[in-house]
Structure 1
Amino acid sequence: MNKSALHQEVIQRLEDTLQQAQQAALMAYETATAKENIAENKYDTLGLEASYLATGHARRAAAIRQTLVDWKRLLLRDFDPLLGIQLGALIELSDDDGRRQCLFLGPDGAAMKLQLDGQTVQVLGPQAPLGQMLRGKNVGDELTLRVASGVQLLAILSVD
């Protein structure tokens, strides 16, 4: 699997999400400032509500913009066993039942699932519980992950 292609897919998704958030903020701002939405009495709150919505969308767009900057700055490196798993690592795990999953560890703020080469890849950040556990680990290491249904044992099969 190509890490560079995964990296570009995450960036493309973030750019699309940013564009949608910016459009939503603009629409809410236009609604908040439209002449027909000027309050005529204390119960007429459409303009006020739209301004709160515009602020929320603008904050969301700013957060996505920062995440996008972080992902664009991410340097993909070859795996170094001396450092263990770091940002930019593509990791294959197996659980106790032999089910495999593929993870791409990157900067925070871009949790998503991608399809590449017919395989599902979960993108996660270093602050996610599993992301925290993976940092510094190597091929062959095992992790114990507490989930709602109990404890799950995961083995690191490969890292790229």
Structure 2
Amino acid sequence: MNKVHVIEHIRFALEAKLAEAKQAADSARIDATHEQSAAETQYDSLSIESGYLAQGQSERVNDAHKSISLFEQSFDLQNANKVTVGSLIKAIDLDDETHWFYFGPSEGGLKVTVKKQTVLVITQSAPIGQVMFSKMIGDECEYQVGSQTYSFEILDIF
């Protein structure tokens, strides 16, 4: 797996998320200021609701900008000997299935596909991120979510 390709796919995914958030914010802002949104009676709350929606969508845009900035700072092409923010991790589970993770500063759960391989962005706030952080090649990482136990062995860190 080429780390540069993974980073580019993550960049594209974050830019797409930003574009979607901007479009939703623009649409919500137009709806909130449209003449049909004006209150007709004291009990008509459509304009208030539209305003809250526009504000929430604007916050999504700000969050997307923040995520892009954090990721730009985390992209590191140097191979590390332990898992840190910016690491691309190749791991294997108990069923001998290979998994790819990118340890990001935010956006945990984001998935990108690179050459038919899914790469999952994980963060230190997630259970898997908590157990993988600072681990080295050959280390085992086990964590539990509810009654389900997950176990991975780190095969490589890029």
Would the TM-score normalized by the shorter structure come out above 0.5? yes
Letter paired with 2:14: L
C-alpha distance in 2 between matches for 1:5 and 1:109: 18
2:105 is matched with which residue: 104, 107, 122?
107
Give the match for residue 127 of structure 2.
129
* 2:39 matches 1:34: no
Equivalent residues, number? 158
Tell me the SS of whatever aligns to 1:12: helix
Partner of residue 79, structure 1: 79
Unaligned runs of 5+ in 2: none
Q: TM-score normalised to the size of structure 1?
A: 0.90
CA deviations 1:82-128 (Å, max 9, x no partner) are xx111121111112221221111111125311111121111122222
- AA matched with 1:93: A
CA contact (8 A) 2:80 2:87 kept: no
Q: Does the 8 A contact of 2:13 with 2:112 survive in 1?
A: no
CA shift at 1:32, angstroms?
Answer: 1.1
Consecutive unaligned residues of structure 1, counting only runs of 5 or more, are none
Instruction: Supply the RMSD in Å over aligned alpha carbons.
Output: 1.5
Asked if structure 2 preserves the Cα contact closer than 8 Å seen for 1:10 and 1:110, the reply is: no
Amino acid at match of 1:62: N
Is this contact kept in 1: 2:89–2:100, CA < 8 A? yes
Structure 1 runs of 4+ aligned residues shifted over 4 Å read none
Distance 1:152 1:20, change over 3 A: closer
1:2 equivalenced with 2:2 (yes/no): yes
Identity of aligned residues (%): 30
Give me the TM-score of the superposition, normalised by structure 2: 0.91
